[in-house]
Amino acid sequence: MSIVSVRNLRREYTQGAFTVHALRGVDLDIAAGEFTALMGPSGSGKTTLLNLIGGLDEPTAGEITVDGQDLSRMKAGDRSELRLRRLGFVFQSYNLIPVLSAVENTEFVLMLRGESAANRRQRAMETLAAVGLKGMEHRRPSELSGGQQQRVAVARAIAGEPALVLADEPTANLDSTTGHELIELMQRLNRERGLTFVFATHDPKVMEAARRVVRLEDGQIASDERKGS
């Protein structure tokens, strides 16, 4: 069953006199439990596609269905609710709330959902342990390394048990070893918990880890390969 279904998706940006075609008719289906890498050079439209799937942006044309819901028919408030309940996000960098500790960042989404204090704290601690940050729960982002910060971001994205995690170049600001470890972590979470991941990257090494690689070029899907597992 598809978690994400994208049909003939277009996104144009008007900049003064001319128009940038960031996406020129993309069709894509992502099944539950898949681990998909969105590859492509800078400017190929990866971020635009992820933002549209995440309901952060609205398409110029085309349809997006996420978790059975047609995004084009939803109001901004409902999309925000969908993100809160069903999606997890990891961005390139600086995406933690600097004034909150690791565990507070992790439970933030649960707080927004209005879950009880004891429940969410326990879940956040467990999730941090699962991403390998046991003992660092009460550090602020500024007291953590870049790799550790991204692990907190992953913990925050998965703590609410989302249907889909969207990660936009999560390793771009990390050195290659740390980046690889992060990808391995996401892979493990995918395997052990059945979490669905879509992540954008233009790092060829990262690509090797993915079971499915979707290649974007100039706003169009150039190839879509699945490796046997």
Partner 1 sequence: MNFGLLFTLAARGLRRNRRRSLITIAGIAFGLGLMSLSNNIGYGSHQDMVKSAVGLMAGHIVVQHADYQDEPRAERVVANSGQIASSLAAAMPEATVLRRINLEGLLLSPLSSTAVGLRAVQPEAEAMVIDLDDRIVEGEWLKADDADAIILGQLLAERLSVGLGDKVVFMSQVGDRDVDSRLFRVRGMFRTGSPEIDGMSAIVNLEPAQELLPETDPATLVAVHLPDDRQTADQTVLARQLVPDPGLAVMAWQEAIPDIVAFVELDSAYSDAMWLVLGVIVALGVVNTVLMSVMERVREFGVMMAIGMKPRQLAAMVLMEGMVLGLIGAAIGLALGTLATWPLMHYGLDLSEMYGGESIEAGGVPLSLVLYPEIDTARLVVYPFIGVLFAVLASLYPAWKVTGLQPVQAIRHQ
Ligand X SMILES: Nc1ncnc2c1ncn2[C@@H]1O[C@H](COP(=O)(O)OP(=O)(O)O)[C@@H](O)[C@H]1O
As a whole number of angstroms, the distance between CA 97 and CA 105 comes to: 6
Choose which of 5, 36, 44, 47 interacts with Mg ion (CB under 5 A): 47
- Residue 163 to residue 97: CA distance in whole angstroms: 23
Q: Determine, following the binding rule CB under 5 A, whether residue 149 of this chain makes contact with Mg ion.
A: no
- Spatial separation of the C-alpha atoms in residues 216 and 49, rounded to whole Å: 10
Site for partner 1 contains 54 (CB under 8 A):
yes
Amino acid at site 34: E
Q: Pick the piece of the chain touching partner 1 (CB under 8 A) from 65-73, 76-84, 126-134, 170-178.
A: 76-84
Distance CA 27, CA 8 (A): 5
Nearer to Mg ion, 5 or 47 (CB): 47
CA dihedral in degrees (132, 133, 134, 135; nearest 10)? 150
Q: Alpha carbon 93 to chain centroid distance?
A: 12
Residue 171 as a binder of Mg ion (CB under 5 A): the answer is no
* Shortest Cβ 59–partner 1 spacing (Å): 12
Among 68, 72, 94, 208, contact with partner 1 (rule: CB under 8 A)? 94
Task: Return residues touching partner 1 (CB under 8 A).
Answer: 51, 54, 56-57, 77, 80-81, 83-85, 87-89, 91, 94-100, 104, 108-109, 111-114, 156-157
Residues making contact with Mg ion (CB under 5 A): 47
